[in-house]
Amino acid sequence: MRTVLDLLDAATKNNQTLGQASLAWQAKHDGQTEEHAWNTMHKMLAVMRESAQAGLSPDLRSVSGMVGGQAAKMIQPTHASRFGMLGKACAYALSIAESNACMGKIVAAPTAGSCGILPGALLAAQEDAGYTDDELVWGLFTGAAIGRAIAIGATISGAEGGCQAECGAAAGMAAAALVELYGGTPQQACDACGFALMNMMGLVCDPVHGLVEIPCVYRNVGGVSQALSAAQMALCGIRCPLPCDEIILAMKDVGDAMPPSLRETGDGGCAACHSARKHRMIQNSD
């Protein structure tokens, strides 16, 4: 399966969800049993949960000192509860992204720079609605298949396609996974992915000082917010007006058109802000 349409056709033909079609394909592709693939994904979920908890430490700091300890503020009940499930999803997305920036163990989903979006969405949904770990794993298989289609049709590399290829792809994966988790149809999951990709298209990759810290960790929060809104639209029965695979091809065209300064070089965008450059000069002088 190389495209979202391939995935959708396989699920429809066999009367499966996208997650079930993805599991069957993965097992066959790897020459392993479905049980082996299932257990492997469960282990990934465990790592995701551990990184979410590790990132909530108020004492966490990256080597540069630029990020860390912010998720601990967001998870406080007075703040997280204000926005319901979205508040928790944002806090978890940030905690996992901060954990990565502080050299913690994470699962790239699909990349390290976008690692908080998919698990942040699923872990928050579990706490909000009581889903089991098995149900979350089905969501992860859905997200994985979507991520593969994006990687083949466009890219998941920020250096090649900007942050739309990282946080944008992760938002599409999370949106589709949420739809599956909430009992939506395979078509609705594809629509949700399309909405998320459209809304994140053109996002540049502009890491301050070349580190996966600013604005990267905060974009994980924005990405999970986009995933939730995209899933909500699809679950309400709103059809994405463009086929998901065409949106993926459009992402590739946009990424190819980006100047090098906006593709992970640390030369443009937020990285070119006066305050970012000034901070770097101070560090170098020390």
Range of the domain at 42: 4-285
CA distances from 188 to 111, 170, 183, 262, 283 (A): 25, 17, 10, 32, 49
CB 187 within 8 Å of CB 240: no
Residue 178 sits in a domain whose CATH number is 1.10.4100
Summarize the confidence of residues 159-182 as an average pLDDT. Answer: 98
User: What pLDDT does 78 receive?
Assistant: 83
CB 219 within 8 Å of CB 172: no
Summarize the confidence of residues 217-232 as an average pLDDT. Answer: 98
Instruction: Give the other-Cβ count within 10 Å of 265's Cβ.
Output: 17
User: What pLDDT does 32 receive?
Assistant: 96
Summarize the confidence of residues 4-27 as an average pLDDT. Answer: 98
User: What pLDDT does 281 receive?
Assistant: 46
User: What pLDDT does 279 receive?
Assistant: 62
Q: Helix, strand, or coil here: 263?
A: strand
Which DSSP state fits 213?
A: S
Q: How many structural domains is the chain composed of?
A: 1
pTM above 0.75, yes or no: yes
Residues 52 and 106: their CA atoms lie apart, in Å, by 9
Summarize the confidence of residues 33-54 as an average pLDDT. Answer: 98
CB 34 within 8 Å of CB 27: yes
User: What pLDDT does 80 receive?
Assistant: 80
Is the pLDDT at 230 greater than 60? The verdict is: yes
User: What pLDDT does 286 receive?
Assistant: 45
User: What pLDDT does 283 receive?
Assistant: 54
